Structures are given as C-alpha cells and as structure tokens.
C-alpha cells in the first residue's frame, strides 16, 4: 500500500490526526522543481556529513548551502497545516537535505526528535498520544515511489506511547510490518507527518538519486537551544549523557537577509549573532 495525496488542508489535517501523515501535491511548480532538485543534489553531495549509512547523503543546516527552495516553504497549503496543528508562530527546527542514492542501505524504524531516544533532549516514554509536539515534512524534488525509496511509514503508529528507539522496544528494527506503507507522490509534493510517527528510510532500487529536503517544524514553546553547537543546554544534555544529534548550524546573516520576507520569521531564532 502507498501513502498518497491529500486534496485540501482540512483533509490533510484530519489525515495527520488519524493516520499520522499526509501528502500535499503541487507545492513546487513543475517548471522549477527539476532545476532546484539538481542544485540540491549537487550541493548536498558537497556538504554531506561523514559516516552516513551506505548510499545515504545527508546535509544538515542546508539553508546555509542552498536557498533556491525557500520561496515555497510558506506555501499556503503547507502553512495552513502547520498553523492548525502547532499554532501560530511555529519555527523551523531542522533543514536537512536527504538523498537516497542508488542501492542505499535501508534505515531503521524510528520516530524523529524529540521522540527518538538516541537524540538530544528526547521525551521519556510513555508520551502523550493526542497532542502534536513536532512536525516532519519531506519536500520531494524527484518523484517518490516504491522503486526509488519512498519513505516507509507505519500509519497510526503516532498513537503508540513509545517507538523502536526506546528501551524495551525493538531497537534499530529493520523488520517488516504488515501495515507498513510507502510514501508516494510526484516531484513538487510535500509529505507532512507527526514526528512521532514510526518511519524508516527505504531502499532506492533505481539508478537515479531520490532527492528530498527534510524541514521540521516546532511550536514556539519547544526549546531548540540544545540543538545549537556549544550551547549550555547541548553541553549538559548531549555531552554529559552521551547522546547524539546532527547539529543545526546558525544561519548566517548573509543568508538570512536573502530569505523571502515571509520565510524569515521561521528562521529568525537561528541567525548567528556577534
């Protein structure tokens, strides 16, 4: 089974509440998505972090390296969903290019920060299953399908009080579930999911890279300081407890000043000072 598109913001919001995910089609125009995708692929390969799993390219803090996709971040359909689920004044917590190269390794089942027990500042299970604390969005710059590694999802797993990264669960599980599906959609679509939803990186069995940018949204009240390199919160929670998370670099003033006016509020907290 595949995860397919949602037609309206209202339908998308309902689907996220019930199933944990939705796909919104046509966010990035057809005449732009290929060119932007090519830039993202080249830039992500040049700025990928080391020690990635085989065939997986990941470039955190990607906003500093590439801004061609930023005019579309505040697409009304996307922001209607974000504002409805997180309230006004949501902020972007992570911006990461994520590319499944050909024949990449499959990923493990997990939930994203702040539910992943391997990450900094995670919530302790069991956690609430009604409130939404964080949203993960994947922006498709190539089609997502079963062949090229469309993200694996477990619908309704956001209603479980734990996830495979927690002790006592099937940590780092590579198993298959009868209810698992794959996210599919055309280039230019956006997958939005409750970050508590169980998901995993799928294998790309084609000869072409599957290109995406992961943009995560947090409510205004969620503490993001522990994601900042060398912050006191990070020093206390990450280093002392030997936990890891890809750092989110400050946004340089030069990059911030070039962002579209309606995108700046989403990144203002990341602007480097001094």
pLDDT by residue (tens digit) across 227-270? 877 777 777 776 666 655 556 788 999 999 999 999 999 999 99
Q: What is the pLDDT of residue 122?
A: 80
Mean pLDDT across the chain, nearest whole number?
90
Q: How far apart are CA 198 and CA 85, in angstroms?
A: 19
Please report which residue ranges of 94-194 form alpha helices under DSSP H. Answer: none
What is 107-118 written as a DSSP string?
PPPB--TTS-TT
What is 47-78 written as a DSSP string?
HPPSSPPTTEEEESSGGGT--TTGGGTT-HHH
Q: How far apart are CA 249 and CA 157, in angstroms?
A: 31
Q: How far apart are CA 115 and CA 131, in angstroms?
A: 13
Per-residue pLDDT band at 172 (split at 50, 70, 90): low
Q: What is the pLDDT of residue 1?
A: 47
- Helix, strand or coil for residue 148? coil
Side-chain-facing half-sphere of 189: CA atoms under 13 Å: 22
- Beta-carbon count within 10 A of 159 CB: 15
**Mean pLDDT on 211-218:** 98
Per-residue pLDDT band at 93 (split at 50, 70, 90): very high
**Least-confidence region, from 69-73, 109-113, 234-238:** 234-238
Per-residue pLDDT band at 4 (split at 50, 70, 90): low
Please report which residue ranges of 48-181 form alpha helices under DSSP H. Answer: 76-86
pLDDT by residue (tens digit) across 174-194? 889 999 999 999 999 999 999
- Helix, strand or coil for residue 140? strand
Contact 155, 179 (CB under 8 A): yes
Q: Which pair of tokens denotes residue 178?
A: 């009868």
Q: Name the residue among 156, 177, 157, 179 with its Cα closest to residue 166.
A: 157
- The shares of helix, strand and coil residues in the chain, as percent rounded to the nearest 5, are 25, 20, 55
Q: How far apart are CA 9 and CA 84, in angstroms?
A: 9
By percentage, how much of the chain surpasses pLDDT 70? 91
77-93 burial: b if 16+ Cβ within 10 Å, else e: bbbbbbbbbbeeebbbb
Side-chain-facing half-sphere of 100: CA atoms under 13 Å: 29
pTM of the model as a whole: 0.93
């Amino acid at each position: 089974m595949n995860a397919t598109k949602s037609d309206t913001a209202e339908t998308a919001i309902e689907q996220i509440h019930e199933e944990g995910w939705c796909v919104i089609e046509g966010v990035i125009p057809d005449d732009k998505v290929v060119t932007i995708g090519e830039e993202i692929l080249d830039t992500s390969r040049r700025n990928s972090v080391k020690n990635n799993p085989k065939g997986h390219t990941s470039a955190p803090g990607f906003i500093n390296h590439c801004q061609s996709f930023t005019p579309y971040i505040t697409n009304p359909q996307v922001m209607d969903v974000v504002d409805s689920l997180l309230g006004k004044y949501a902020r972007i917590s992570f911006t990461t290019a994520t590319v499944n190269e050909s024949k990449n390794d499959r990923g493990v089942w997990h939930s994203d920060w702040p539910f992943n027990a391997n990450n900094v500042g995670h919530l302790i299970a069991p956690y609430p299953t009604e409130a939404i604390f964080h949203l993960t969005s994947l922006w498709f710059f190539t089609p997502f399908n079963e062949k090229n590694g469309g993200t694996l999802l477990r619908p309704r797993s956001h209603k479980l009080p734990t996830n495979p990264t927690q002790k006592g669960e099937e940590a780092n599980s590579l198993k298959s579930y009868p209810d698992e599906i794959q996210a599919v959609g055309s280039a230019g679509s956006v997958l939005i999911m409750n970050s508590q939803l169980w998901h995993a990186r799928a294998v790309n069995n084609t000869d072409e890279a599957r290109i995406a940018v992961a943009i995560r949204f947090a409510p205004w009240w969620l503490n993001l300081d522990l994601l900042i390199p060398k912050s006191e919160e990070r020093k206390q929670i990450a280093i002392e407890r030997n936990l890891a998370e890809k750092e989110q670099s400050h946004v340089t003033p030069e990059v911030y000043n070039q962002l579209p006016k309606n995108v700046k509020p989403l990144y203002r907290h990341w602007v480097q000072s001094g």
